Structure 1
């Protein structure tokens, strides 16, 4: 499915490079290679999964439209994919999502429906109601086979690019919410680069995947909001993604919010890329948790760059 998704994405998704900086290598004490999916269409890897899922629908189903729920990056990925296929899209977003992500999703032609995440309203319940009323196809943000397949194309590229860089063993750090990207990359690496090990990275206080990998069962976060790393805040790993991560991934890594912000600033200063806090946690782990990482080289996936301008400006000023 991942290879088939790659064929459908050919000519539509960007092939993002591997970036490096000797300054980052010095901080980490090893070679650091960064996969900047913040340069992907809509500013995150989510376009891969959105296109994969929308393009896999039969034409009649697609014509009726799709629905998705997301704090912003999956929303934009699905919205753009649907627009490019001429299909209507409804996106359910939390009312505390960054305004930039809400505005961008609407600008891509989707109808945005807000729900009360801080108040405990269920996005799944809202999605089920609207999809049944309108006959829309729900595209889940991570627990969806075609979405996972699309995200897994990132791993196919990493495997090929790492070989070209002479990197055959080491950890691949991935910003992780529900696990769609992590599980997709893990499967791609298993097939094409078995010496590379996928490892999920999460922000402190929202480390459900790391705890789940330790306990062997699906753990849930006590809080569902309240982090600058909003892009990767999910209640728990998915029922599809967790078994994949449990089988293929190394131990999870957890970083503080301040470490994520420092990584945002360093990514801009040393790599000249714009990364949002949730999209920078993998780089933060590579730079500031080197003692928990194996190998002479580490690959970090910067997953998204949809950060509010004021937050970004404050961050790069504070951590200059």
Structure 2
């Protein structure tokens, strides 16, 4: 696919038309306060993954509504003192996988906490193990329209809350340095990391790659790829509910969390990305409130973004922060 979105010089100045609800901050403060009424109950069970340089722990903690959420914590085997912490969120449809997967961050001398995404884990990778026990009104298959009838019911209210609690759980382990916490992820994981960057004020860095869940008004009308297309297909059947759906989505638009994010940030965008169009990524990047921010642009890539080259860029960049 050739370039289909705005030219790069226009992307660098692009701003979303999405408007944050007046009660955006109150909504999220109330949501997190309600979830913190439940004991975090973070548990770390050692796992024999057959590895000699990395120790793995099977983690559970209480997320939204006190619901149990799973994760993996991977630590350098020789860690005796607290080490910098990388908390990772996953792409759409994936789960935490198997304990021996993804050893990069632990191999770099950091603790690596990966959160299982509730209800997902059956689309790719090694699977997941976290249920989403909350039902919803009629929805299109997938996750984008679950509970879209109201912000209080929307699926990503639960996921974003789980993600904040995941940071709290990971920080509770004695070998993680809470003062050097980084959040990152690609696609859906990138969108979640932006949300956490706006909700957790003391992170040292945020690194969203080709992030999803950004600039819903533009994304849902610009691309016909899933997952954004799920919204259009829902509205094709539920005629007349566009305003209601966009109101709900406005509480979860990463653009508004970015406007509250102050940590140093490294974004990435791919100019041929039809899954997460580059203008939607730049909308979040340009909204990011912190002054220490950069974006890597991959001119001829689709949703794979920068791939291993961008992993190397993140490794270099994080040396300054964690």
Give TM-score scaled by structure 2 length. Answer: 0.39
Which has the larger share of helix? 1
Which has the larger share of strand? 2
Give TM-score scaled by structure 1 length. Answer: 0.40
